[in-house]
Each structure stands twice: as structure tokens, then as C-alpha cells.
Structure 1
Amino acid sequence: MNQDVYTLEAARVPLLVSMPHTASAVPDDLARTMTAEGRAAIDADWHIDRLYAFARELGAGMLTPRYARYVVDLNRDPSGASLYPGRSVTELCPTTTFDEAPIYRDAPPDAAETARRISAYWRPYHDALGAELRRIRETHGVALLFDAHSIRSVVPRFFDGRLPDLNLGFGGGTTAFGEIVEGLAGIAGTSGYSHVVDGRFKGGYITRHYGAPGDGIHAIQLELAQATYMDEAPPFSFDEEKATALQAVLRDMLGWLLDWAARR
């Protein structure tokens, strides 16, 4: 299914992979108001759709947006509430890059413009996400949501030092059964990559909002350090050798989730 602001490939198995930050396009009317950094969408989760392309072979659903997070952040609360109170975060409609450079040449989006973007871009993505999770659960008895992200391994604004390679988030243990947390953490722990569970990234709005284990929907966020599969400096090149090694671990994780669902 294709829409103007997202693409949804329906799941054949009880797994949906959401990639809310993989896009880098900016509508022309908004691009004219932005700085060069804003137009370049430099904080995209680069190549995540390419990295997880193998999930189609498993029968997983795939949901991707058309436009960059600078237009509106699909992984933020539409009310504007902070996911990490007291810490530096980017807004629902970001006004600065991760390095705190301005995204807009003049005034940032006001309340009316923010509401327009929620209606035009944020809501359609979430309507599709919620509907597909419900369909999966009705079809299979359980739905698994894997929210796929990546970020530069060093971003002083958000965390000290270098980020672990694999950052699993379960909303502090609230978005999936404990056996899922243990299973995926076990794979990460033997992968050869550094990892953490519910560390700096505990899962964003998507993971925390849709994860409802008691209702048969389990949500996981995986934030990857981009150094594990790409060049973190422009032009942000995909590293085939690194990516192939990482994909073996990701395949193990998604395969484990599907095996778990089959045992339920």
C-alpha cells in the first residue's frame, strides 16, 4: 500500500518493522524556509531501510515515511511532551540539528504550522501503524513491532562518550514481555557488538505508545550506532562489509521474535 506520506508493505507474519526516521526528503515549500543543514536532513537514520531490507524475506511488514524527521518527528508525542524530561531533546517539529545548528533561516514553525504538519504527515503514518498492528494481532493472535533507528555514535548533546553499538529499548520493561527482553538481550550479548538494554534510548513515542503486552502487542526499539554499518560523515556512505556482519545479528533478532510468536 502506498500513500502520499508513507509506504506500508503489509506483514505476512506477526512482525512489523517501522522506520520512522529513514527518510531525508523535505517538501519544496518547507525547504525554502530552511538552512542548508535543514535541507540536507543530516540527522536522518541513514540507510535503515536498506539495512533491514532482508526482513521482507521473513515476511515482515515494512513501514517507512516519505519525508524527513525535520518536517515532523514521527517518534515524538504529538502533544509535544518530552520523552526524556530534564534532558536535551529535539522537538516534534525540530528547530535545531543534533549539533544545535538552526534548521530554519527565520522563524521556526508556530503552533498552527505544527498542527498542520501533525495532520498532514504525522497522523497518516500513525493511523497506518496502528491499523496494521491491529490487523496482525487479529490474524496471528499477537503482534510484534520492531522500531528501527540509528544515530551517530558520538553526539555530545544527547550522551557522553561513544554510544554502545546496539541499544535495545523496552520502555523500562513495559513494552514487551520479560522473555522477549531477555531473548534479544541474549543475542546482543553474544554478538560481538557492545550493547545496552534501556540505556540512553529506552524507546521513543512509537515503542512506548503501541507496546501493550497485556493486549498482545509487543514493541521493541533498536537504536544502532551508525558506525556499525556506514560512514558517519557526509556523504554518509553505506559500508557493505560492516552492514553484512550487522545484518546477521539483526536477522537473528527478528528470527528469534518470529520463533517466539510461533511458540505462543
Structure 2
Amino acid sequence: MDCVTGDFEHFEIREPTAHTIPFVYNSPHSGNRYPPSFLNDARLDSVAIRRSADHYVDELFAAAPELGAPLLAAHFPRAYLDVNREPYELDPKMFDGALPPFANINSLRVAGGLGTIPRIVAENMEIYRRRLTVEEGLSRIDALYKPYHTALRRLIARTHTRFGFSILIDCHSMPGNIRIAGSEIRPDFIIGDRFGTSASADLSRAAISFLTDLGFSAARNKPYAGGFITEHYGRPVRGLHALQIEINRALYVDEVTLEKRPEFEAVAGALSCFMRLMAEFADEFGSTTALAAE
């Protein structure tokens, strides 16, 4: 998957023939369509600039529409704009001119170079040759961030209206060297539910159980508990559940060349099984939720 340039739609919604299960799948970081002006401003080559992307994650979850759920996928790259942040987490050192007073310039993500408009990719690899104008930054948010979240909100609202509850699965990948703190374990998957605040614990436990049954190692919340999307859209007391799923890239990608490994199709097949098992569990989960609300 090389960098693609030129005109493009910013994201797509892959709709099922019929929306039959209470899920929305979201892949916000797998885009690979890079504006030429962005590449011209970057000091990184076409491989290095892709180091923070969730490579092929939208393809790994491509079976979602066949199973009856929509899949929202960004086409723009995470290095250009990150929709898994607050809308205005911006680093003033990146811009010529003063940012608006409502910008969050003090978040930990901004301090780490990973705000709404990232300063770095991967391990402190600086992206830009120059400072951006404030207008450039705000225009990206208006053109990309706001429409993306409008689309995601509508999908979640539609699902909630149709089924009485909704389950957002926010799909990501993580570097192969990630370990669980205090151990040498490198999990294949991490399920994040913001420590129980973004989704029912039953959903998290089910997800981990299904992944384990499929032969993978899975952990919960450590070291990834979920980002802005999981936190913002997860309101389990209102029947709005949001889980983040992180996949170990080493399972399916050569982390040097960023090309698919031979195991890619097997991982995609396993995830199709996982999504089917989650859908079956949601039937029982929905019935239990409805009874509890009566």
C-alpha cells in the first residue's frame, strides 16, 4: 500500500445490504491518500511517513457489511489529520500565528506530538519542514474532521434507533513490540473500554473470550484503553457502547516494508469469525439489556 496522491473522497461508508446487527465498525487511521502539498512539506520519505498508520485495518474488517454492519473508513492519513483526538488539540509550536482561544494546547497528546494535526510519526520522527499557518490547520479540521464525526454520529444514532442500543468497534493496529506493563507478554489484541466507562464489561469480556478461542492472546485496557472516539461515543448507561480493538501489526504486516505478510488472509478470516461471534453475542446481550431496562 503505497502513498496515493491526487483528488479523493475524504472517507467512505461501506453500507450493508441491510443493517441487521447493532454494530458500527470504524477505521479512522488506515487511510493512505496523501495530498501532494502535504508530501512536499514533509521531511520524511514515502515509507517513513506511514509509520503511524493502521495499515490495512479497513481491509481486515472488510467483512463487516457482509455481516450486516456499516464500516466507516478514512481515506486521509493519520499523519495529516487525526480524528481520534479532540477537534482542536493543537500544538502552538507548529503554527505561525496565534491559535484560537478554544484550542486545547496543553493535552498530553499535544505534548507528545500527536495532536489533531500530528507533529511526529512513530518514534519522534518530525513530519514538517516548516510551520503551518493557522488557517491551514483550521481548514483541515473543517474539511475532514467535522464531516467525519458527523458521519460517525449519524451511523451510531441510526443504529441506536433501529436496535435500541449500539456497539461501536473502533479498529486500530499497534506496533509489534508493545508489551503489557510488568511482563514480557506481547498481546495479539488489546480491547479498550476506557476501564469500563465506554462499554459494558460483558462486551469486553466476550470480545476477549472470542479472540482467545480463536487462538490469539488478548488483554484489556493495557497499554491502550481507548482514545477520543471510544471515550466520546461510549455512553453505556444510554445504550451506546464503544470498544477499541488494537491488532498487533506483526501478525499481518512486515513492519520494515509495511507490506502484507502471507498470514494476512488468515488474520482477516479470523476477524470475520470474531465479528460473527460478537453479532451472535449481541442478540443475547440486547435481550438482557432490554429486560434490565423494564
CA distance in 1, matches of 2:284, 2:79: 36
Task: Decide whether aligned partners of structure 1 residues 21 and 234 sit closer, same or farther in structure 2, where only a CA change above 3 A counts.
Answer: same
Partner of 1:28: 36
Q: Can you give the 5+ residue segments of structure 1 that lack an aligned partner in the other structure?
A: none
User: Which runs of 5 or more structure 2 residues have no equivalent in the other structure?
Assistant: 1-7, 90-103
Output one character per residue of 1:173-218: Cα deviation in whole Å (capped at 9) or x when no partner. Answer: 0011122122222223433322210111101111110011111211
Larger radius of gyration: 2
CA contact (8 A) 1:98 1:155 kept: no
Residues 25 and 41 in structure 1, CA contact (< 8 A), matched pair in contact too: no
Mean Cα deviation higher: 160-169 or 15-24: 160-169
TM-score (norm 2): 0.78
* Amino acid in structure 2 at the alignment position of 1:25: R
1:79 deviates by 3.2
Partner of residue 86, structure 2:
77
Is the counterpart of residue 188 in structure 1 residue 197 in structure 2?
A: no
Contact 1:147-1:222 within 8 A present in 2 as well: yes
Residue-by-residue CA offset, 1:88-115 (whole Å, 9 max, x unaligned): 46221111111211111222x3543222
Helix, strand or coil at the partner of 1:200 = coil
1:43 partner amino acid: S
TM-score (norm 1): 0.86
Question: How far off its partner does 1:155 sit?
Answer: 6.1
Post-superposition Cα deviations, 1:154-181, rounded to whole Å, max 9, x if no partner, equal: 269x999674111000011001112212
The aligned residue for residue 115 of structure 2 is 91
Q: CA RMSD in A?
A: 2.9
* Farther off after superposition, 47-56 or 88-97: 88-97
- Correspondences of 1:160-171 after superposition (within 5 Å): 163-171=186-194
Residue matched to 2:58 = 49
C-alpha distance in structure 1 between counterparts of 2:202 and 2:214, whole Å: 18
Q: Secondary structure at the match of 1:150?
A: strand
How is 1:17-166 mapped onto 2 (pairs within 5 angstroms)? 17-37=25-45, 40-80=49-89, 88=112, 90-107=114-131, 109-154=132-177, 163-166=186-189
Q: Please tell me whether residue 7 in structure 1 is matched to residue 12 in structure 2.
A: yes
- Contact kept, 8 Å, 2:23 with 2:168, in 1: the verdict is yes
**Alpha-carbon deviations, 1:121-140, whole Å to 9, x = none?**
11110000001111111111
C-alpha separation in 2, matches of 1:112 and 1:38:
26
- Identity across matched positions, percent: 25
Distance 1:244 1:67, change over 3 A: closer
- Aligned pair count reads 260
Residues 167, 224 of structure 1: 8 Å contact kept:
yes
Q: Amino acid of the residue matched to residue 74 of structure 1? A: V
| Letter of the structure 1 residue corresponding to residue 254 of structure 2 | D
The CA deviation string for residues 5-47 of structure 1, in whole angstroms up to 9 with x for no partner, is: 1111345031110000011111122222112346742321111
